[in-house]
Amino acid sequence: MTKQDKINNFDPNSVGDTTAGMFGLPFTLDECETVLIPVPWEVTVSYSGGTANGPGAIYDASFQVDLYDPNKKDAWKLGIGMDEINEDLHGISDTYREVAEGLIDLMSAGENVADSSEFDDINKACSDMNAWVKERVLHFLKQNKTVGLIGGDHSTPLGMMQALSEHFGKFAILQIDAHADLRIAYEGFEFSHASIMYNALKIDTIEKLVQVGIRDYCEEELNIINESKGRIKTFFDRDIRQASYAGENWQQTCDRIVKELPNNIYLSFDIDGLDPKLCPNTGTPVAGGFEAEQVLYLIEQVVKSGKKFVAFDINEVTPGEENEWDANVAARLLYRIANLVMMSQGK
């Protein structure tokens, strides 16, 4: 059966078919315009864990998502599919997460563990994960797929950024996040989830980092921002809110953000950029943050400006023990964001 045959026989208004692909869509991965790469990894999480289970939880929740998209008629016909979850990677994450937790506990108790060889083992495992992600992303980019990544913690997209650098050349990062993630080898882990943007800026072709919603950061990170000579532009949550109290509306704020972005953009979306009521189980929730439609509106404004999203990620989604709330929120955002990214690419 061809893809067109599947489209003709598919009812987008029906209940989600859990025996089909992601979102209940009937397409094979080859037939999908967007391929999502799940990365079940959380080795260096510094507060509460569970993000390694995020990709699976989002996949399960996707069957509850209605397929109507107000931005693009029949968007579902393009197809969104998830690559197979790498259970070996999940197992490696679990192993080294236990080792990292032991080191973090000792550090929290005031012990000096700086010379522990276990840091080298963890950094090597994280480096290998990055290399796997890079290879997988390039595999799908070479097929002219729109590529998204689902974490896992926020350390997971570094290999993707390296792949995008090889494939596209120059681009900027639009980061939606509660945290600046500019720590230098946080807690001794080179590839910490809190160091993702510091590591990303080591990639020469990343010409700019535009951060939005940051509300939890240290003085060292602020110094890195201030000394970046404009390579980092941060829209702090406090500043956004104070501007709104003084009369600036969200459209005007979005206009200022979009103006800072060049033509090619990578979207990195840490779910804790949202108000914690929408993601209460995420690893490091912080008071404040955005509504879901605020984030989507910003992305829509980027698309309307004619700029292009080269790829995207959603990370730090932790399924709750008692319900699927976080994954349900993430799945709905994922569907809308993937469609907007495809629209920006002319699909």
Report how far residue 335's alpha carbon sits from residue 330's, in angstroms, rounded to the nearest whole number.
9
Task: Label residues 169-200 b or e (16+ Cβ within 10 Å = b).
Answer: eebbbbbbbbbbbbbebbbbbbbbbbbbbbbb
Q: What percent of the chain has pLDDT over 90?
A: 86
| Average pLDDT of the segment spanning 250-260 | 98
Q: 3-state class of 81 per DSSP?
A: strand
Instruction: List, in order of start, the domains of the chain with CATH numbers.
Output: 3-344 (3.40.800.10)
For residue 130, is pLDDT > 80? yes
Distances (CA, A) of 59 to 22, 106, 201: 6, 36, 31
Q: For the chain, what is the mean pLDDT?
A: 95
* Prediction pTM value: 0.96
Q: What percent of the chain has pLDDT over 70?
A: 99
Handedness of CA 221, 225, 227, 228 (dihedral sign): positive
Report how far residue 330's alpha carbon sits from residue 315's, in angstroms, rounded to the nearest whole number.
9
Going by pLDDT thresholds of 50, 70 and 90, the confidence category of residue 47 is: low
pLDDT in tens, 205-254: 999 999 999 999 999 999 999 999 999 999 999 999 999 999 999 999 99
